[in-house]
Chain A
Amino acid sequence: MDIAVFTLAEQLILTLAALMLFTSFLLLAQTRLLTLIHIFALQGGLLCATTLLIAFTYGRHHLLISAALTLGLKVFFIPIQLQKLVTHLDIKREVEVVGNPTFIMLGGAALVLFSYYAVLPIRELSMLATRNTIAVSLAIILLGMLLIISRRKAVVQVVGFMCMENGLMFAAISATHGMPMVVEMGVALDVLVAAILFGIFFFQIRTEFGSLDVDKLNRLKEVD
């Protein structure tokens, strides 16, 4: 009804926001590691598409650099690195879900509702047409957190962390047309370093405990 007041480009941005939310739910539902990483790459691709769309629609050309960073890091570099790790550690097929998948999905839907109500006052402050996407970005962040909580495998938790970061970037791009370039570069570098560090940690955890199950880290105290 009310969507008619937006231009076609804005409607497309809203659709991309909805699709990003959907990929977050797919991440929650997915139980295979390689597919999980592919969905994460898809989410990065959607983020990149949104950035490009906003850069061209509103003439914010510095967002092009941000889009290139997203494309390089989140669509190609990090997923490929994670995929190599998974192949190398030979854990292609194992993921366990804590609790009932349907309940987790319904919890995710509840998180979306919560974030909608949480950002209602913030929405009033923005004058942009795409301010409705703030709720979606908060939901993506919370869903990333839910992914971290609901899984035991370290690789999935890293994907959850990156998913949260995707949500933050999406909020910055769609609600305020991007952060200052320095901040964006810094965040991109942080994510890159984090991805590499996580890779090293995976090997460490694996050699120490013989598994990537983070629940086994708790048993340290009981050794002596």
Chain B
Amino acid sequence: MSAWILAIVQTVLLLLLAPLLSGWVKWVKCKMQCRRGPAPWQPYRDLAKLMRKEVVLAEHASPLFRATPYLVFSVTALACSVVPAFTLGLPTAAMADVIVLVGFFALGRFFLSLAGMDIGTAFGGMGASREVTISSLAEPAMLLAIFTLSMTFASTNLNTMVHFTLTEPFQIHPSFIFSGLSLLLVATAECGRIPIDNPATHLELTMVHEAMILEYSGRHLALLEWASMLKMLIFGVLITNLFIPWGVAQTSGFIPCSVGALSMMAKLMGIGALLAVSESVLAKMRLFRAPEFLSLAFILSLLGMLSHVVLEVH
């Protein structure tokens, strides 16, 4: 029973932390570019304001358009409960492995792109087509990277994977370097961050994610924004915990769990700062260069798998 409570605590904690991470990234980015920038908790204010605002619906909006924000948000929240964030042995982690996690994201994206096309404006369709193009290239790279990891761990369950690294003596796996880099590239593409998509822009020709949700307003928009912040958080937790799991609690006591939560926040701050730095240094790519970027991710995953077979297996 206490494990279930812990699972709920974890999900709620991640839900609450997601806007903070997004605000933190924006804050570090502003500091790097010598701007004053909004406070890290600004996204909470934005979400609260959007929640209070009236929903404006297009005349031709179908029920699908209205259902999508709730669906996308709940799927992402469900994905939150699957990832081992600060403690192991959650009952929710046993229900779904990492392939299901990829499936959750795909499900959310499917409905989001349908909703983008639902109203019938040009931008929605354009954004949906771009999003699907990018994700169809990003998904194989992500799955290949995950398969490389699961060849070492002999499991696709996230709990087992993190547990393996925590209990084994320290080893350097060449294949992990490649999978890690590949997952970082895929995460930037999936979360719509800078080399692929600019989350801050509303410039017609370049937006991808923003184009799809252009017609949304009020609490619908708030839920979709929150879901995309949550997705970034999940990717951050996933990548940090797969490759640097130290700090994650192995028992369900209060002290190990709070140590785990603190270390998770520290790791997230680190990876958020890394994202902010890379976003300040890199420029957004042309859309037609996105396949090159993602094929680099795919080649990295492939190299990871090859180096696992060539170098690590006797």
Contact = CB atoms under 8 A, between A and B. Distances in A.
Interface string A35-78: 00000000000000000000000000000000000000000000
Interface string A1-16: 1111100100110110
A135 B308 CA distance: 12
Contact of B171 (A3, A132, A136): A3
B46 interface: no
A22 B312 contact: no
Query: Which of B171, B303, B310: most chain A CB closer than 10 A?
Result: B310
Contact of A4 (B154, B168, B178, B292): B168
Given A1-B312, A14-B174, 15 more contacts: A1-B313, A2-B312, A2-B313, A3-B172, A3-B173, A3-B311, A4-B168, A8-B172, A11-B173, A14-B172, A14-B312, A29-B299, A102-B295, A109-B299, A136-B311
A174 B270 CA distance: 35
A109 B314 CA distance: 20
A84 B313 CA distance: 43
B165 interface: no
B283 interface: no
A200 to B, nearest CB: 36
B311 A12 contact: no
A147 interface: no
**What are the nearest 9 A-B pairs in CB distance?**
A18-B174, A11-B172, A18-B307, A15-B174, A102-B295, A2-B314, A3-B312, A14-B311, A105-B299
Contact of A133 (B169, B177, B309, B311): B311
Contact of B311 (A8, A18, A102, A105): A18
Nearest to A12: B172
Contact of A109 (B168, B172, B306): B306
Contacts of A17: 174, 311
A5 B306 contact: no
A181 interface: no
Interface string A135-167: 110000000000000000000000000000000
A4 B311 contact: no
Contacts of B310: 112, 116, 132, 135-136
Contacts of A1: 152, 154, 312-313
Given A25-B303, A132-B311, A135-B310, A18 B292 contact: no
A19 interface: yes
A21 interface: yes
Interface string A87-117: 0000000000000011001101100110010
B295 A18 contact: no
Contact of A19 (B168, B177, B295, B300): B177
A102 B292 contact: yes
B175 interface: yes
B50 interface: no
B184 interface: no
Contacts of A15: 172-174, 177
Nearest to A102: B295
Nearest to B307: A18
Contact of B299 (A18, A25, A116): A25
Contacts of A11: 171-173
Interface in B146-181: 152, 154, 168-175, 177-178
Most buried by B among A14, A17, A108, A113: A14
Given A17-B174, A113-B306, A116-B306, A29 B311 contact: no
B143 interface: no
A152 to B, nearest CB: 20
Given A2-B314, A17-B311, A116-B310, A22 B172 contact: no
A8 B306 CA distance: 21
A112 B174 contact: no
A136 B174 CA distance: 12
Nearest to A130: B311
A19 B303 CA distance: 10
A21 B152 contact: no
B303 A21 contact: yes
Contacts of A19: 174, 177
B276 interface: no
Contacts of B299: 25, 29, 105-106, 108-109
B306 A112 contact: yes
Contacts of A105: 295-296, 299
A18 B307 CA distance: 6
B292 A109 contact: no
Given A15-B177, A29-B296, A102-B292, A21 B307 contact: yes
A14 B313 CA distance: 12
A41 to B, nearest CB: 20
A116 B309 CA distance: 9
